[in-house]
Structure formats: structure tokens, C-alpha cells
Amino acid sequence: MSDDPLARFDFLTGSLGYSLRLTQVRMYNLFFEMIGDLGLTPARVTALSLIATGDDMNQAKLARSLDIAGPSALKIVDALEAAGLICRLDVQGDRRRYVLALTATGRAKLEQLRVRMAEYEDRIAAGLSPAEREQLIGLLNRTALPG
Amino acid sequence: MSDDPLARFDFLTGSLGYSLRLTQVRMYNLFFEMIGDLGLTPARVTALSLIATGDDMNQAKLARSLDIAGPSALKIVDALEAAGLICRLDVQGDRRRYVLALTATGRAKLEQLRVRMAEYEDRIAAGLSPAEREQLIGLLNRTALPG
DNA sequence: TATTGTTATACTCTATAACTATA
DNA sequence: TATAGTTATAGAGTATAACAATA
């Protein structure tokens, strides 16, 4: 690249990790620009989607799905419940547990989100062809794999 | 995909935003697994690299480069100084400012980091060919662009 | 007036540890 | 003993607002 001896300490140029981080920050900013008015964070949208589509979702399962600790999942559940989007339902035969379910407000919010998330996805992929978008997702899914 | 009417609320499958977020979390975990023993966070490595390679780096410039607020940059600078990796040098002719410079300890740490960061970059791209790695960086740099 | 750096403060997200109720 | 959920607490990271010193 350069004869500059300082270039040996440039960990950023051409770094996959740095590119990924910058892209994620841009994406995060665009999320709040485009969807912030709906009052949800990316993590809460993810949780809401999991509650809507998963069956028999509870807090422990949510924590495992999101790969976060129990108390962190609790905060998300509390926030979604306080916003009136979900409710805790008692479970017959196990009084420790409850099932997370959408409220009518939650379903309406998801209808809004369905449109806005699609616009958001189109926006972040605006510079890519449909083929490139699929290619990018495929490459990402093969990056930084554990094991 | 599916006839399941709930699939309309699955914002995660095939989502570029979600793939990007998951990949970044995996990457973050691998960073601490592989480099965590050096006692630096990704943000501090970035800052250290900028201080090492940028000329006449100061706190305001660092804040702009990292796209964070002044007090946030201050905390990073304080942490790097407390770790003995950088020092604040007075500037002739402007007593408001100082220049951030590496200490001998900081240079030694950067030599360690140079090797470890290379290993880390290889590790996160282990599932990709060199061509795919370049392709991924190129696609990321065209994703979620502002404007 | 504008800029550099600082302090004070607060909010969010995350985590661990200890607790309760129940199984 | 083990599990689901909760509470308390703490730490990291971020932000805004107000300030001092200097230009």
C-alpha cells in the first residue's frame, strides 16, 4: 500500500472487522431515522417478531433466542408490555411460567412495522442489485462463525 | 416461503439488517475471545490505530473520526492514557490543545496488536476465500450509505 | 464569538448474583 | 435439585448541557 512505516499500525484500511462495524453503525442510524418514530429499538423489533412467529414463547426461550441473559430479556419483555404490545398469559399446569402473546395493539404495530421494515431493508440495500443483496447475506452468514 | 400467516411478521429470515447484526455480534465475541487478554476494546483499538497513524491527532479530531461525542472521546483517551499507552503533549502556540502521542508502552502494545489483529482478521474470514473476503468488504462499503 | 477540553449528569444496554415460587 | 421469573446492583458506552480557558 504505502512506504509509510506507520502503515504497519493501520488496522482499519481493508479490515473486514472495521468495515462490518462501520456498516452496522450506518444501519443503526438509518433504523432510527426511518423507524425511530415507532418507538422501538432493533432488539425490541427482533423480540416482537420472535414473539409473533414463535409458538409458546416465554422469557427464557426469548433470552436463548436473542443470546442475552435472563434479566436483559426481562427488560425487553417489560418494555414491550408497558407499551401495550404484548401480554403475559398464565400457563395451565405450571404456575412458574407464562406465555408471551401479542395484544391487538401489538398486532397493529406489527402491521405498521411490516411496511416500514420492508422500506428500511430496501433502503439499506439501495446501492446493491438484488443478486448482490443475496450474495452479501450469504457471505455474512459464513463470516465469524464460532467453532 | 411458507403458507403460515405468521410468516408475514417474520422480519428476520432473509433480512440483511438481521444478518449484519448477528455477524457483528459473533465478531465481537471472537474479538474478546482472541484479543480480550490485551485489555482493549474494539473502539480503543480503533482509536489507538488512529492515534498511531494519524498526524497531529487531538481529542476533537478523534471524536469526529470515530463519529462520537466529545465526552465519549475523552473517556477513551483517558482510558488509553491510564493504561500508559498514549500521552497528551502540549502544543506550542495554542494552550487549549494538546496532541495525542504513543508512549513506548503504546508502541509495544501496537506490535502485539499487529500480530493478533491479523490472526483475528484471518479467523473471522476463515470460511471465505480471499476473493470472497474482498467481495464482502466491497459490498459492505456500499451498504446502508447515507444520503 | 468560536473552539478545545472538561465536568456533571443521565440514559440504555448488558451482565452477575442472590432471591422467590414452583416443579 | 432444577427451572422460570424476578430483584438488586454494577459496569460500559453513549449522549446532552453547562463550564473554563483560550483563540
pLDDT digits (tens, 9 = 90+) for A47-59: 999 999 988 899 9
| Rounded Cα–Cα distance for residues A74 and A58 (Å) | 10
Query: What's the CA B121/C1' D7 distance, rounded, in angstroms?
Result: 41
For an interface test with A, which of B11, B68, B112, B119 has the most A Cβ atoms less than 10 Å from its Cβ?
B11
- pLDDT > 80? residue A134: yes
Q: For strand A98-102 and strand A86-90, is the pairing parallel, antiparallel, or unpaired?
A: antiparallel
DSSP state of B3: S
Nucleotide nearest to B66 (CA to C1'): D14
- Check CB contact under 8 Å for A12 and B49: yes
How does pLDDT run across A32-41, given as a tens digit for each residue?
999 999 999 9
| Rounded Cα–Cα distance for residues B116 and B139 (Å) | 25
- pLDDT > 80? residue A27: yes
| Rounded Cα–Cα distance for residues A112 and A37 (Å) | 11
B10 vs A1, which has greater pLDDT?
A: B10
- Which residues, 6 or more positions from B131, have their beta carbon under 8 angstroms from its beta carbon? none
Out of A12, A14, A120, the one facing B17 most closely (by C-beta) is: A120
Residues from chain A contacting residue B139 (CB–CB below 8 Å): 128, 132, 135-136, 139
- pLDDT > 60? residue A105: yes
> Residue A3: what pLDDT?
58
**Quick one: which of B31, B117, B146, B139 has its CA closest to A19?**
B139
> Residue B3: what pLDDT?
60
> Residue B54: what pLDDT?
82
Q: Which CATH number fits domain A5-141: 1.10.10.10, 3.40.50.300, 3.40.30.10, 3.10.129.10?
A: 1.10.10.10
For A69, A87, A117, B59, the CA distances from A78, given in Å and listed in that order, are 14, 9, 23, 39
Full pLDDT tens readout for chain B, 147 residues? 546 777 889 999 999 999 999 999 899 999 999 999 999 999 999 999 999 998 889 999 999 988 899 999 999 999 999 999 999 999 999 999 999 999 999 999 999 999 999 999 999 999 999 999 999 999 999 999 987
**Chain B touched by A38 (CB under 8 Å):** no
Q: What is the mean pLDDT of residues A59-77?
A: 94
- For residue A14, what is the nearest residue in chain B, using CA coordinates? B137
As given in the structure block, the three cell numbers for residue B25 are: 455480534
Amino acid at position A131, single letter: A
Average pLDDT, chain A: 93
- Check CB contact under 8 Å for B12 and A42: no
As given in the structure block, the three cell numbers for residue B88 are: 497528551
| Rounded Cα–Cα distance for residues A78 and A6 (Å) | 50
- Chain A nearest-CA distance from B90, in A, is 22
Out of A27, A49, A143, the one facing B11 most closely (by C-beta) is: A49
- pLDDT > 60? residue A1: no
Residue A87 phi/psi, 5° resolution? -140, 160
- pLDDT > 80? residue A24: yes
Amino acid at position A62, single letter: L
> Residue B55: what pLDDT?
82
DSSP A90-102: E-TT-TT-EEEEE
- Check CB contact under 8 Å for A11 and B142: no
> Residue B1: what pLDDT?
52
Q: What is the mean pLDDT of residues A106-135?
A: 96
Query: What's the CA A134/C1' D20 distance, rounded, in angstroms?
Result: 54
Question: What's chain A's Rg over C-alpha atoms?
Answer: 20
> Which helix (H) or strand (E) element contains residue A80?
helix A70-82
Q: Is A139:B128 a contact under the CB 8 Å cutoff?
A: yes
Query: What's the CA B74/C1' D20 distance, rounded, in angstroms?
Result: 16
- Check CB contact under 8 Å for A30 and B144: yes
The CATH code that applies to domain B15-140 is 1.10.10.10
For A36, A70, A80, the CA distances from B16, given in Å and listed in that order, are 18, 27, 24
User: Helix %, strand %, coil % for chain A, to 5?
Assistant: 65, 5, 30
- pLDDT > 60? residue A88: yes
